[in-house]
Chain A
Amino acid sequence: MVKVKHAKPESFYKVYERKLTTKKVTHYCPGCGHGVAHKLIAEIIDELGIQDRVIFLSPVGCSVFAYYYFDVGNVQCSHGMAPAVGTGIARTLENSIVISYQGDGDLAGIGMSAIIHAANRGENMAVFFINNAIYGMTGGQMAPTTLLGQKTLTTPMGRSTNRDGNPIGMCELINSLTAPVFIERVSLANPARVIKARRAFKKALFNQVERKGFSFVEVLSPCPVNWKMSPLESRKWIINKLEPVFPVQNFRDIEEKPERYERVEMSDEELLNLFKIEKEMEIKPKTKKISDQHIKIAGFGGQGVMSAGVLLANCAIMEGLNSTWLPSYGPEMRGGTANASVIISENIIGSPVVDNPNVLIAMNAPSLDTFEDQVSPGGFIIVNSSLINRKVKREDVEVLYVPASEIAKDLGLITTANIVVLGVYMVKSRVLDTETLKQVIPISIKKKHLTEVNLKALQAGIDIFKEEAGAHI
C-alpha cells in the first residue's frame, strides 16, 4: 500500500489559464528558482489552512504572472510598490494574510523606499525577496544585488564599486530597523538548503497568522538563463559566489508578539469627536430597494459637476445607502473639462470607477461627445440643452433635455445649473428623496448666503421634470 507524500499543492490552480500549450506549466525558464519558491509558499499555505485568507502581491519582473498560479486573493502591483499596496490591504482587511513576492530589481531597485518604510512601520506581511542578482525579465541587466565583477548586459566589464556601488544586502539593511520581527536569508542551491528555506518560509507565514508583524525572507535564487549557465551550474554558482557575499543565516526571530503594532480602531463617534464635528443630520435606516446607480456628471470646470457629485453621494449616505465619489479633472481651476463619477448602491462598492454609466448628466457639448457612447443600454442621459445644441444619437437610452443653465440664469445664479439637473435626476430616478437634498444643501454649501437660491434651483429642477418628461421621453 502506498500513500501520496508530496503532490501539487491545493493552493495552485489545477490549470493555468495563461499558457496555451498545456495549461499545466509555469512560464518560468527550466531550472528557475521562482517555481521552487512558489511551491514552498503554496505548500505552506495548504499546511496552515490559510488559502482563503491569503492576498498574494505579484510584482513586476519574471514573477509578474504569479496570479495565474496561486489560487488565492491576488493583486498585481506596479513596479516595487507591493509593500505599499500590502500596507493598505493588511490594515483594512484585518483577517488577511498578505504575501509580498518581489525580485531584486523590484524590491531593492525601483521599490527600495516602499520596502524600507513598510519594514520600518512593521506592517503585517510576509515578504519573499527573490534575489537572483540580476534583472531577469528584461534580459539580464545589473540589479542592486549584482556581485562585484559580475558581467551583465549593463555591466559588460563586470560590476565595479566605483562606477556602480557595492551589492546591497537587503537583510542587513532591514536588520538595522527595529520593527521587523523575522529576518532570514535562505538559499535554493541544493535539496538540503531548500528544506531549510522551507522552515523560514513557514515561520514568516505563521507570523502572519499570529499577526506578529513584518517578516522578511531573502531567497538566493538561480536565474540560469541570464547567468548563462545550466540549472546545475547555477546552483554551484550560488554556493561558490552568492553565498559568500550574502551569508545564509537568520538575522532576527523575535518570539514575543510586539505590543506596539496593535492598531487602535476608532468608532465613527470617536472620529466625529476627534474632529469636533457635530452631526447635523441623522442617517436614516435604509428602507427601499434600489438598482445600482453608476452616474457620470460631466462639464467644464466651474459648472459645479464635482459639488453636484458630492451632494448626490451625501444624500445617498444619509439615506443609509453606500456611495462613492471620484473626481477627474485637468489642471485648470476654471474652464478645463471635469467629471465626477458617483456610484450609489445598497451593497459594498468595490471600485469607484464608472466606465459605463447608467446615468449621464452632460453639462456641455464635449461631455456629451465624450461619454454618450459609454452609457449602458437602457440608461438615461440628462442633457443641458442650454449649452448643447445637438440631440443624442443613441436610440437605446432615455434622454431628458433640460435648459439647466437658462433656468439657473433666470434664478439669478447661472452656476446653480448643477442643482437644477440634480432635481431632475432625483425625480426621474426615484432613487433618492428630494427632501434629503433639501436638508443636505444648507449643510454642504460653503457660501451660506447662496443657500436660498440653490434651494430654488432644486425646486425648479423638480418642477421642470414633469414638463420635460411629458415633452421628450
Chain B
Amino acid sequence: MSESYITINDDECKGCRLCVDACPKKCIVIGSNINLIGYQYARFEQNGCNACGLCYYVCPEPGAVTVYKKDKKGSPQ
C-alpha cells in the first residue's frame, strides 16, 4: 500500500533544520552527507507522513521539498 511522503532535493537543501523541527511525525532528519553547495542536507524517513505540508511551508527554498499525498480513492495518477 502506498503512503504519503515527501522528497527533498539534496542539492537544494541548506540544512537549516526548520523542516526537522516542523514535522509533527518526526519524518525528517539531517543526514551526515554534504551536498554540492556544502551543507549537510535533510533526509526523509518514513514515519507516518500524512502530507500535512508543514515542512514545505517552513522551508525557505522554492524547490527543495515536494509533498505527495496518498490518494484515498486510489485513482491512478
Please name the residue on chain B nearest to A36 by beta carbon: B60
**Shortest beta-carbon distance from B65 to chain A in Å:** 7
Report whether over half of chain A's contact residues are helix, strand or loop; otherwise say mixed. mixed
* Chain A interface residue bracket vs B: 35 or more
B11-A36 in contact (CB<8A) = no
Number of A-B contacts (CB under 8 A): 115
Please name the residue on chain A nearest to B57 by beta carbon: A194
What chain A residues lie within 8 Å of B21 (beta carbons)? Answer: 232
Bound form: Cα–Cα A24–B9 in Å:
10
Bound form: Cα–Cα A25–B15 in Å:
12
Q: Report if A30 contacts B (CB, 8 A).
A: yes
Interface residues of A in 226-244 (CB under 8 A from B): 230-232, 235
Bound form: Cα–Cα A198–B13 in Å:
22
Interface residues of B in 49-66 (CB under 8 A from A): 51, 53-54, 56-66
What chain B residues lie within 8 Å of A30 (beta carbons)? Answer: 14-16, 39, 60
Per-residue 0/1 for B21-40: is the Cβ within 8 Å of any A Cβ (1 yes, 0 no)? Answer: 11000000000000011010
What chain A residues lie within 8 Å of B73 (beta carbons)? Answer: 1
B66-A34 in contact (CB<8A) = no
* Interchain CB contact (< 8 A) of B57 among A4, A29, A195, A235: A195
A31-B67 in contact (CB<8A) = no
Bound form: Cα–Cα A235–B36 in Å:
27
What chain B residues lie within 8 Å of A34 (beta carbons)? Answer: 60
**Shortest beta-carbon distance from B71 to chain A in Å:** 4
Q: Report if A289 contacts B (CB, 8 A).
A: no
Please name the residue on chain B nearest to A12 by beta carbon: B62
Q: Report if B47 contacts A (CB, 8 A).
A: no
Bound form: Cα–Cα A22–B35 in Å:
11
Interface residues of A in 20-75 (CB under 8 A from B): 21-22, 24-26, 28-36, 38-40, 42, 69
Bound form: Cα–Cα A33–B60 in Å:
7
A21-B36 in contact (CB<8A) = yes
Q: Which of B57, B71, B73 has the most CB of A within 10 A?
A: B57
What chain A residues lie within 8 Å of B62 (beta carbons)? Answer: 8-9, 12, 26, 35, 38-39, 42, 69
**Shortest beta-carbon distance from B51 to chain A in Å:** 5
Bound form: Cα–Cα A201–B64 in Å:
22
B17-A26 in contact (CB<8A) = no
A sample of 25 inter-chain contacts (CB < 8 A) reads: A1-B73, A1-B74, A2-B71, A3-B68, A4-B68, A6-B53, A6-B67, A7-B67, A8-B63, A12-B62, A21-B37, A25-B64, A26-B60, A29-B14, A30-B60, A31-B16, A31-B60, A32-B60, A35-B59, A35-B60, A190-B58, A194-B58, A198-B57, A232-B17, A232-B18
Residues of B whose CB lies within 8 Å of any CB of A are 2-5, 9, 11-12, 14-18, 21-22, 36-37, 39, 51, 53-54, 56-71, 73-77
